[in-house]
Amino acid sequence: MYRAVACGGNGKSKRGPAFIGREPDASNNKTPKIGALAAVANHSRWLAMHEGLAAVDAHNDANYTNGNSRVLRREATRLVSVSQPFADGWLTALPDGTKATALDSGDFVLNAQRRLGLHLSSSKATLVALAAHGVEVDFFGDASSNAACQNRRHRAALDGWEAASRAVSHGPVIMGDKDDEKRRRSTTTAT
């Protein structure tokens, strides 16, 4: 609620945020910016989507059929995964001619299908044939992706960042060698 508030005892008033029955105080409380308000609206939509996907997961977990994923809470977990900061980096990276930014069409389709929670089209015909012969299959590719233990390098990188953020330096770090006292002394005496 906005109302006129007297300012500075000069008799002038300005429009400012105030709550009914309460004069503004000298705290740092400011009116939220439009971006913050939009984030709240988006947050409530995200929570509603997460709740809906949790209901889908409850149904899928209770009613497993061959071809579905055995991963519990798959859809809600996928939403959290794709909502993380920079999770869309591979989609928004502009190719600059290097191999690191060039993504093969097949890889792009596979990654997009995994991101959207769709059946993998590259293996669908084979998996349908296997399912017809009584073999348990996973059209989403979760079984093969989770069995490969491909997160070892990712965890190693996270451990490295954690160690770096927890490292304490009691003086200047020279050449990144906090542990090698001889090398640190030789570089400081050489300059």
What is the residue type of 149? C
Each residue of 72-98: b (16+ CB within 10 Å) or e? Answer: eebbbebbeeeeeeeeeeeeeeeeeee
Closest Cα to residue 69, out of 127, 132, 153? 127
Full-model pTM:
0.54
pLDDT in tens, the chain (191 residues): 334 444 444 444 444 444 444 555 555 667 767 666 666 667 888 889 989 999 999 998 899 888 888 888 889 888 888 888 888 888 887 878 887 777 778 888 888 898 888 999 988 999 999 999 999 999 998 888 777 766 777 788 888 888 877 777 666 656 555 566 665 555 555 44
